[in-house]
Amino acid sequence: MHLIRRRSPLPISTPIPPEQARGAVRGHILFTIAVLLALALAWRLREVLALIYVSALFAVVLMPAVNGIMSFRFLRAHPIPRPLAILVLLSAVFFAIVLFFVVALPPVIRNLHQFAADLPARIPPIVARLKRLPLADRLGVDNLAQRAEDALSATAAYLFASFPNWMANLFNLITAFVLCVYFMLEGEHAYRWLLSLFPLERRLRLDATLRAAELRVSKWLFGQATLMLILGLASTLVFGLLHVRYFILLGVLMGLMNCIPIAGGVITILLVAMVAALDSWTKMAAVFIFYIVYVNVESAFLTPRIMRHSVNLMGLTVLIALIAGTRLAGIVGALVAVPTAALIAVLLDEYLVQKDLP
């Protein structure tokens, strides 16, 4: 006789009671409504949330400097308390800003006024030189003077019209400063509370990732600021030795535009070359030679040493971040765009990038 094995009957799912099913549906509906209300509230408070984010980001960037001041001991005394360390840092920043406005800004403003005053008289010689170039007629060189004057008038009108907006942003700047101080004082408690919302195993990994991102972003900003300062000082010195007109203004522009990889330097050096060409083609050639030498020195010597431990951001990433940040929040958005991109790059590298096995 053959033994016949009976298959075990399939498990029968227990029917959900109607009341429980209706309760689950009501829960999903209420959760959806709550999410929509939260999104609507966030959209309504988007400017406030952006201000909070900017303040928190600047506090994160400045905290390594605060920790460095706190670790300093004078004559083997007790460590410096955090409030005093923050006060020392803010005093140093305030002193640097005052020094810039007193020492560096007046020559830049004088050069800017001189450039605006000299521009109408300088355009005809430029047009005369450009007419000697091939295809000058097809490029519309004859209308260049009128176009330049129109562009200058439009720029002046825009600056005058946007002055009230600059004054309105002054209150936001003061608010962001106060929030930044509070984040540096009490941000650690808020950070711990935020981490407590995650399970323990995820919390430890997120904590390690965020602290690594904080360190790398701070080093990136410090390195980028150092490169901008070196290029600004070197450009001002070389342009001054070459007797290029408005060399202080142009040197400052070279340093500031260095935050945009490749494109920023190319645009400013073309502007400097145009100004140098007002005097002689030899001076313009010397400007190009200086920039070529500096780019090679920066890529071969400065960048590998200054940016060695920072997060590596592609030039395309920096440019897209600057465009998006400026579009979303103006100048403030541009200031925090690149640090935000660096933070996102670190998080993506930790959680999403599939690393190849060695």
How much is the average pLDDT of 277-292? Answer: 84
Six-digit token string for 319: 């440019």
Mean pLDDT of 10-23: 62
pLDDT at site 232: 87
- Position 151 scores a pLDDT of 58
81 and 180 belong to one structural domain: yes
Share of the chain above pLDDT 70, in %: 71
Is 25 within a domain?
Answer: no
The average pLDDT across 305-319 equals: 70
pLDDT for 322-343, tens place per residue? 788 777 766 667 777 778 888 8
- Is residue 173 a part of any domain in this protein? yes
The span from the CA of 62 to the CA of 65, in Å, is: 5
Q: What is the mean pLDDT of residues 58-81?
A: 76
Q: Looking at residue 324, what is its pLDDT?
A: 82
141, 176, 197 - which closes a domain: 197
Q: Are residues 49 and 137 in the same domain?
A: yes
For residues 241 and 148, membership in a common domain is answered with no
Q: Are residues 128 and 218 in the same domain?
A: no
Domain end residue (candidates: 154, 169, 197) = 197
Residues 151-162: what's their mean pLDDT? 56
Q: Global pTM? A: 0.65
Cβ contact 309:216 at 8 Å = yes
Selected residue with higher pLDDT from 118 and 279: 279
Query: Residue 311 — very low, low, confident or very high, per pLDDT cuts 50/70/90?
Result: low
Residue 113 belongs to a domain: no
Domain boundary among 197, 215, 239: 197
The CA-atom distances, in angstroms, between 128 and each of 124, 245, 273 are: 6, 19, 17
Question: Cα–Cα distance between 329 and 321 in angstroms, integer?
Answer: 12
User: On the CB side of 152, how many CA atoms lie within 13 Å of its CA?
Assistant: 15
Same domain, 170 and 276: no
Domains contained in the chain, number = 2
By residue count, the chain amounts to 358
- Domain membership flag for residue 36: no
Do residue 176 and residue 211 come from a single domain?
no
Pairwise pLDDT comparison (271 vs 150), residue with the higher score? 271
- Identify whether residues 271 and 156 lie together within a single domain: no
Do 181 and 60 share a structural domain?
yes
Exposure letters 153-181 (e unless 16+ CB within 10 A, then b):
eeeeeeeeeeeeeeeeeeeeeeebeebbb
Q: Is the pLDDT of residue 279 over 70?
A: yes
pLDDT at 204 over 80: yes
Task: Please say whether the beta carbons of 53 and 336 come within 8 A.
Answer: yes
Please indicate, yes or no, whether residues 175 and 215 belong to a single structural domain of this protein: no
Residue 28, domain member (yes or no)? no
Does the pLDDT of residue 251 top 80, yes or no?
A: yes
- What burial letters (b/e) apply to 246-265, b meaning 16+ CB within 10 Å? bbbbbbbbbbebbebeeebb
Residue that is written with structure tokens 């103006």 in the block: 330
CA angle, 248 then 250 then 251, to 5°: 65
Q: Which is more confident, 7 or 225? A: 225
Report the pLDDT value the prediction gives residue 161, as an integer from 0 to 100: 58
Same domain, 287 and 153: no
Q: Are 122 and 257 part of one and the same domain?
A: no
Average pLDDT of the chain is: 75
Residue 124 structural domain: 45-105+118-197
Verify that 85 and 148 share a domain, yes or no. yes
